Amino acid sequence: MDEANMRVDRTSKSDSERRLSTLVRHLGASCSPSHTSISTERFENSKISLSPMAAFGSVFANVVQAPEDPILGVTVAYNKDPSPLKVNLGVGAYRTEEGKPLVLNVVKKAEQSLINDPSRFKEYLPITGLAEFNKLSAKLIFGADSPAIQENRVATVQCLSGTGSLRVGGEFLAKHYHERSIYIPVPTWGNHPKVFMMAGLKPMSYRYYDPSTRGLDFQGLVEDLSAAPEGSIVLLHACAHNPTGVDPTPEQWEQIRQLLRSRSLLPFFDSAYQGFASGSLDKDAHSVRLFVADGGELLMAQSYAKNMGLYGERVGALSIVCKSADVAGKVESQLKLVIRPMYSNPPLHGASIVATILRSPELYHEWTVELKAMADRIISMRQELFNALQAKGTPGDWSHIIKQIGMFTFTGLNKEQVAFMTREYHIYMTSDGRISMAGLNSKNLPQLADAIHAAVTTM
């Protein structure tokens, strides 16, 4: 069929004609030799660039398939593996000792009370989200007695988990801050650079992880941030650095604070693991509170995905600590203008659960107990893995497993070793050598120890 017939084909209104034309398009050249040049080209090579001026055919025919997300792609690969021995140490979602996802009891209780309350409606939240949730979230991270909160200098808006908070904060800075460069530690969560680029900022990097010590490259960090232009934004992981699990000591945090303040660098904290790292909410907020205490400004992205197990509900908050209440008010009004064209207002359910828990002393206490239990289980897995490798005499220093903190261990294994472990032992992890400790339990830990031992000794 030639072009003219194809056009007629498209505009036909009868069902059978339409179905036939769809069939013809799918069968391509094999059905009708004379339309080879157009339909087979379009069908077989979706990379052909068709301008919108083409008489027919999708304007998006030139769109190429995007690669799998490096982190979420691990779970995709894991799901495809038929082996009963497979272990998923990819994405950072908590698993119980039985390898199951966990909904906290306190969350179930909160949800039930929401469902059972007939006066609850599902109306739009304000653009800035649930007001009570915002206040409680600020208190959680900054401390109830924080001077910034007392003085009304904090603008807090509910956002979609950590990702959403980072994106909204980034877009706000791109619109209203005088510097576009944001300094990001190396390595960092894979999504960070994309979030900030899409927000309109310019990702730069600063040294963070030292592969030779599997610890913090403090010297490199200081050098790089000292060389950053004044006023640059600096992304800081509040605790439990992802992917390395390497955190500065309190003394190092104080030095970082002084460095940033003396060069007027703007801190942008990402807190995805408060309470999850050490088991203590206050301890895990130490770095943030240090900065707030000096009276300076900062941005804070908070997530409840891990510490309340609310992953898919997308609950988080962006706080901007400002010099004055007046500035905080204006900042909040501008944050609305970023949010409205993105999704209008944030989702209700997760934030309602969080507010229900945080406002009730009993539920809050219960939460801290469950949170500590999750953190403790991970800490014990660290110890067990370390012990297992010691017992096997696996070559190398594995003390970083118990020195690193939070959900992840940066094993130090390279790409080839990781591929080997996946192939031979069905261990699924990201190719940078990061393992999610949350995916370990006493049943699969021996297998991981075997896999690491084999990878290190044979490769």
Partner 1 sequence: MAFRAMISSHATQQSKWVPSAGVARQMSSWFGHVEPAAKDPILGVTEAFLADPSPDKVNVGVGAYRDDNGKPVVLECVREAERRIAGNLNMEYLPMGGSSHMIEESLKLAYGEDSDFIKDKRIAAVQALSGTGACRLFADFQKRFLPDSQIYIPVPTWANHHNIWRDARVPQNTFHYYHAETKGLDFSSLMEDIKNAPNGSFFLLHACAHNPTGVDPSEEQWREISHLFKSKNHFPFFDMAYQGFASGDPERDAKAIRIFLDDGHLIGCAQSFAKNMGLYGQRAGCLSILCDNEMEAVAVKSQLQQLGRPMYSNPPVHGALIVSTILGDPELKKLWLQEVKGMADRIIGMRTTLRENLEKLGSPLSWEHITNQIGMFCYSGMSPEQVDRLTNEYHIYMTRNGRISMAGVTTGNVGYLANAIHEVTK
The secondary structure of residue 256, as a DSSP letter, is H
Q: Smallest gap, in angstroms, from Cβ of residue 346 to partner 1? A: 7
Indicate the angle between helix axes 105-116 and 348-359, nearest 10 degrees.
110
Q: How far is the CB of 230 from partner 1 (least distance, A)?
A: 8
Of 16, 30, 33, 64, the residue at the interface with partner 1 (CB under 8 A) is 64
Residues 243-281 as b/e (b if ≥16 CB within 10 A, e otherwise) read bbbbbbeeeebeebbebbeebebbbbbbbbbbbbbbbeb
Nearest approach, Cβ of residue 140 and partner 1 (Å): 19
Q: DSSP letters of 324-377?
A: SHHHHHHHHHHHHHHHHHHHSS--HHHHHHHHHHHH-HHHHHHHHHHHHHHHHH
Task: Confirm or reject binding of residue 285 to partner 1 (CB under 8 A).
Answer: no
User: Which of 31, 131, 144, 337 contacts partner 1 by CB under 8 A?
Assistant: 337
Please name the residue that has the structure tokens 């993105």: 342
- Residue closer to partner 1 (CB basis): 322 or 429: 322
- Which of positions 44-63 make contact with partner 1 (CB under 8 A)? 46, 51-63
- Over the window 215 to 254, marking each residue x when it contacts partner 1 by CB under 8 A and - when it does not, the resulting string is ----------------x-----------------------
CB of 275 to partner 1, least distance (A): 17
- Residue 9 interacts with partner 1 (CB under 8 A)? yes
- Does residue 37 interact with partner 1 by CB under 8 A? no
Q: How many CB atoms lie within 10 A of CB 56?
A: 13
Count of residues making up the chain: 459
Choose, by CB under 8 A, the member of 3, 27, 213, 340 that binds partner 1: 340
Q: Which of 333, 383, 390, 399 binds partner 1 (CB under 8 A)?
A: 333
Alpha carbon separation from 142 to 135, 149, 214 (Å, rounded): 11, 8, 30
Q: At its nearest, how many Å lie between partner 1 and the CB of residue 377?
A: 17
Q: Is 117 near partner 1 (CB under 8 A)? A: no
65 binds partner 1 (CB under 8 A): yes
Sequence-distant (6+) residues with CB within 8 A of 449 are 385, 388, 389, 392, 394
Which of 32, 150, 152, 336 is close enough to bind partner 1 by CB under 8 A?
336
Scan residues 341-360 and list those touching partner 1 (CB under 8 A). Answer: 341-350
Piece of the chain touching partner 1 by CB under 8 A; list 116-124, 137-145, 267-275, 364-372 = 116-124
Using CA atoms in the order 254, 212, 452, 409, what is the torsion angle rounded to 10 degrees?
10
Q: For residue 365, state whether it binds partner 1 (rule: CB under 8 A).
A: no
Site for partner 1 in 379-408 (CB under 8 A): none
Smallest distance, Å, CB 97 to partner 1? 16
Nearer to partner 1, 126 or 215 (CB): 126
In the window 158-197, what residues touch partner 1 (CB under 8 A)?
Answer: 160-161, 163-164, 167, 176-178, 191, 194-195, 197
Tokens 């650095």 correspond to what residue? Answer: 241
CB-neighbour burial class of residue 22 (10 A; exposed 0-12, middle 13-18, buried 19+): exposed
Query: Taking CB under 8 A as the criterion, which residues in 195-214 touch partner 1?
Result: 195, 197-199
Residue 185, H or E segment: strand 181-186
Among 215, 220, 279, 296, binds partner 1 (CB under 8 A): 296
Pairwise CA distance, residues 341 & 286, whole Å: 35
Which member of 184, 201, 277, 310 binds partner 1 (CB under 8 A)?
310
Give the containing element (helix H, strand E) for 152.
Answer: none
Q: Which residues are marked as active site?
A: 189, 270, 306
- Please, which residue, 312 or 446, has the CB nearer to partner 1? 312
Name which of 228 and 266 has its Cβ closer to partner 1: 266
Q: Quote the CA–CA distance of 353 and 355 in Å, as a whole number.
A: 6
From the CB of 212, what's the least distance to partner 1, in Å?
Answer: 30
Q: Which residue, 342 or 445, has its beta carbon nearer to partner 1?
A: 342
Contact between 306 and partner 1 by CB under 8 A: the answer reads no
- Residue from 111, 132, 151, 432 that binds partner 1 (CB under 8 A)? 111
Q: Which stretch binds partner 1 (CB under 8 A): 29-37, 119-127, 243-251, 369-377?
A: 119-127
Q: What angle do CA 392, 377, 166 make, to 5 degrees?
A: 110
> Per the structure block, which two tokens stand in for 426?
């069905």
**Tokens 């007695």 appear where?**
145
User: Do residues 342 and 168 make contact, with C-beta atoms less than 8 angstroms apart?
Assistant: yes
Whole-angstrom distance between the N-terminal and C-terminal Cα of the chain? Answer: 58
| 35 sits near partner 1 (criterion: CB under 8 A) | no
Tokens 């179930």 sit at which residue? 108
